[in-house]
Amino acid sequence: MTIPGDETADFLQDAAAAGVFPGGPDTRLETYRRAIAAGKAAPFTSGELAHAARLAWRNSARCIGRLHWRSLRVRDRRDVADPKAIFQELCLHLTESTNGGAIRPTMTVFAPATPTQASPRILNHQLAAYAGYRSGGTLLGDPKNAAFTETAIRLGWRPPATQTAFDLLPWIIQGAGEAPQLFTPDTGLIQEVPISHPTLGWFAELGLRWYAVPVICDMVLHAAETEFPAAPFGGWYMGTEIGARNLADADRYNQLPVIARRMGLDTKTPAALWKDRALVELNTAVLHSYQAAGVRIVDHHTASAEFMRFNEQELRAGRETSAAWDWIVPPMSGAATPVFHLPMRDLQLRPNLLPRPEPA
């Protein structure tokens, strides 16, 4: 393994500037170099790990919510590797992060992977997700999770007797080098929000719902030459993630034609803008429902304005913001938000959170 010392050095300089440890980073850097050269994980203190995780968020080119990077709560659980214990920690993570609706951005960091030791893994894409049941040519639920649903069933998961489009999936946790195990969180642990509309009374009859907190499990925390494949994290939603993608995409819940018909629109004529009008009402419903349920959510205009502030903060700190335009620009009303007009480059910085390669 090579030691691109610059990255590690940058991280330590940054940590020192943030007051993570007293004194200069030089001796600390030497300690890091020695550990990494010996094929060990970087010897983060809990404070350094928390700082590295916050920098990983700050460097996440696809995230519009990074104004809040300093507020990330980091649960250092590097000593936890047993699947049962991981399960219990994930339950605590959800409760602490959901916080009764006042969502707190949170990451739990489990044991890292080293050249000699595999790490545990949480095979779910997110802790909360809805089953997708394929049968014949039709699909009930979230198509995105069809393959995972089949894996869970193969491992022994029994779907509810009456299957719905919104059945929460179990968790699949794999100890280092062990067979995957199924765990089912208690009902109620995952808070959900039924979707209704402030003025369209029929909207609630669609029976749509979504969960309060996305907790991503399949991204790897990369920091100081060390990989943490089990480092689940999440914060509050931006409304369009649900209203303009999860419930709207034709290959997800595909609700725009349903909503447009209930609105009495002519769905034969694209130029009638029925998709656009349905999108506005669906997104109005999502924001309204989360607010009514007391679950924190941000609309895409506010989130875009916050991203512009984040960008200004970064410029003032002498840093270019690393950002992926196609991910930052919201999936509706793009040009009506200021981020549309901001040039962006993905600088591939470290620390970072990057997709985990598919498990074999």
Tell me: does residue 241 bind ligand ARG (CB under 6 A).
yes
Question: Contact with ligand ARG (CB under 6 A): which of 235, 239, 331, 351?
Answer: 235
Tell me: does residue 331 bind ligand ARG (CB under 6 A).
no
* C-alpha separations of 272 from 9, 186, 248, 265, 280 in Å: 57, 46, 18, 8, 14
**124 or 181, CB closer to ligand ARG?**
124
Q: Residue 259 and residue 274: Cα distance in Å, rounded?
A: 9
69: annotated active-site residue: no
Indicate which residue of 48, 225, 241, 306 is catalytic: 241
Closest Cα partner for 342 from 315, 316, 317, 323? 323
Tell me: does residue 237 bind ligand ARG (CB under 6 A).
yes
Q: Residue 130 and residue 141: Cα distance in Å, rounded?
A: 7
Local structure of residue 160 (DSSP, 8 states): -
Stretch that binds ligand ARG, among 66-74, 136-144, 229-237, 309-317 (CB under 6 A): 229-237
Q: Write the DSSP assignment of 287-332 as a string of letters.
A: HHHHHHTT--EE-HHHHHHHHHHHHHHHHHTT-PPB--HHHHS-SS
Tell me: does residue 238 bind ligand ARG (CB under 6 A).
yes
Question: Contact with ligand ARG (CB under 6 A): which of 214, 229, 232, 330?
Answer: 214
Question: Contact with ligand ARG (CB under 6 A): which of 132, 141, 143, 234?
Answer: 234
Indicate which residue of 28, 48, 54, 63 is catalytic: 63
The dihedrals phi and psi of 222, each to the nearest 5 degrees, come to -105, 120
Indicate which residue of 57, 69, 171, 236 is catalytic: 236
Contacts of 264 (CB under 8 A, 6+ apart): none
**16 or 61, CB closer to ligand ARG?**
61
**Minimum distance between the CB of residue 327 and ligand ARG, rounded to whole angstroms?**
10
Binding-site residue total for ligand ARG (CB under 6 A)?
8
241: annotated active-site residue: yes
Q: Which residues bind ligand ARG (CB under 6 A)?
A: 214, 216, 234-235, 237-238, 241, 246
